[in-house]
């Protein structure tokens, strides 16, 4: 019997594809360096629903090295081939969308209806990025007399994605899709609060025979794993979604290491303007949805303003 088979405590939410509790490095599920686990709790009931392995900085380094080794072969593949892998991953999500919806609902404590809205976007996002792989091209210019100016788009190499807890799988594909489509490999760190759909996605990577090391997934805590990713000298690009405080730490670590490129999403809060001539019958439900959707845990949460 595999000792790493995960047993979710709520039988109604059992997922046939979620059979692991380990890290996903170089195409394989592996235990963490020091073998410690942490609990995943349903915030609605405060019940422990699973326990998964906790990565440390050594695990991060192993994952980065796997991505580094995988990069040359992945970047050398045709755009069409990379596109096909992303399409296959999208199809896996579509086939298991109801189970994924329930899984994220209990992991995050959101309603099933809210989870359905978010999960309904995941496969379409992957397909979008897959198609963008076919559009990547450089530019040429004859604006300078006697010169032909050429720009060539090239992948970074190893990228990292640090993802928050409030929309894990959607955020995952928003980082995986662009990275893989453009020829990069990636190391992903889930939030310690919602790692289960990441493990499910890792199983999909195995099922579609994604080349080893192209996607690596670690579960752990920001002070250990996130810091190690931000400081790592072999990571050339890091994409982070989360708080301003953590962003500052990532910017500092990135600057003090190898000046890696950093992309940040720190919240998109903006005002919802309700004018005197507005229909309150339409404005109030729209405002309530914006504020209360996902229990208010959403970066586009709006502030109501009456100008």
Segments making up each domain of the chain, as ranges = 11-265, 271-305
- What's the rounded mean pLDDT across residues 89-99? 94
**What pLDDT sits at residue 137?**
76
pLDDT at position 180 is 98
Q: How confident is the model at residue 8 (pLDDT cuts 50, 70, 90)?
A: very low
Is pLDDT of 190 > 50?
A: yes
> Is residue 3 over pLDDT 70?
no
pLDDT band of residue 306 (cuts 50, 70, 90) is low
Instruction: Enumerate residues 6+ apart whose C-beta is below 8 A from 299.
Output: 241, 265, 266, 267, 268, 269
DSSP designation for 29: E
CB atoms within 10 A of CB 63: 31
Instruction: Please state, in angstroms and rounded to a whole number, the distance separating the CA atoms of residues 219 and 193.
Output: 10
> In the predicted model, what is the mean pLDDT of residues 184-209?
96
Q: Percent of the chain at pLDDT above 70?
A: 88
Helix (H) or strand (E) holding 250: helix 244-256
- Give the CA distances from residue 277 to residues 56, 242, 282, 304, in Å, rounded to whole numbers and listed in that order: 56, 37, 12, 16
- Please tell me whether residue 289 adopts helix, strand or coil conformation: helix
Q: Which residues are catalytic?
A: 265
Alpha carbon distance 204, 197 (integer Å)? 11
How far is 283 from 61, CA to CA, in rounded Å? 50
The token pair that represents 121 in the structure block: 């976007």
Q: What is the mean pLDDT of residues 221-236?
A: 95
CA dihedral 192, 166, 302, 117 (to 10 degrees): 180
Give the chain's mean pLDDT: 88
The listed CATH number (3.40.605.10, 3.40.720.10, 3.50.50.60, 2.30.30.280) that belongs to domain 11-265: 3.40.605.10
For position 11, what pLDDT does the model report?
A: 42
Average pLDDT over residues 190-206: 95
pLDDT digits (tens, 9 = 90+) for 111-152: 888 888 888 899 999 999 999 888 877 788 888 888 888 888
Each residue's pLDDT tens digit, 256-302:
999 999 998 887 667 778 888 989 898 888 888 777 777 666 666 66
Q: Would you state the structure tokens that stand for residue 34, as one six-digit string? A: 């020091």
* Per-position b or e across 206-217, b if 16+ CB within 10 A of its CB: eeeebbbbbbbb
């Amino acid at each position: 019997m595999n000792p790493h088979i995960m047993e979710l405590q709520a039988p109604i939410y059992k997922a046939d594809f979620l059979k692991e509790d380990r890290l996903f490095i170089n195409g394989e599920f592996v235990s963490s360096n020091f073998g410690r686990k942490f609990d995943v709790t349903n915030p609605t009931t405060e019940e422990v629903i699973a326990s998964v392995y906790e990565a440390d900085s050594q695990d991060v380094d192993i994952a980065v090295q796997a991505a580094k080794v995988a990069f040359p072969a992945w970047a050398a593949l045709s755009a069409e081939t990379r596109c096909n892998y992303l399409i296959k991953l999208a199809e896996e999500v579509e086939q298991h969308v109801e189970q994924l919806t329930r899984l994220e609902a209990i992991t995050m404590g959101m309603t099933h209806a809210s989870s359905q809205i978010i999960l309904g976007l995941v496969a379409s996002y992957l397909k979008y990025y897959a198609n963008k792989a076919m559009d990547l091209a450089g530019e040429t210019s004859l604006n300078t007399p006697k010169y032909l100016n050429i720009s060539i788009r090239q992948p970074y190499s190893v990228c990292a994605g640090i993802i928050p807890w409030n929309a894990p799988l959607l955020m995952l594909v928003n980082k995986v899709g662009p990275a893989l489509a453009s020829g990069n490999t990636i190391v992903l760190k889930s939030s310690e609060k919602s790692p289960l759909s990441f493990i499910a996605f890792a199983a999909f990577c195995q099922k579609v025979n994604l080349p080893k090391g192209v996607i690596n997934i670690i579960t752990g805590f920001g002070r250990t794993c996130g810091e190690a990713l931000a400081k790592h000298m072999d990571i050339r690009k890091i994409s982070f979604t989360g708080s301003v405080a953590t962003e500052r730490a990532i910017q500092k670590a990135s600057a003090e290491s190898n000046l890696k490129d950093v992309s940040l999403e720190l919240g998109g809060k903006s005002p919802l303007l309700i004018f005197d001539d507005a229909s309150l019958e339409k404005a109030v439900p729209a405002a309530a949805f914006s504020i209360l959707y996902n229990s208010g845990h959403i970066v586009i949460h709006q502030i109501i303003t009456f100008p």
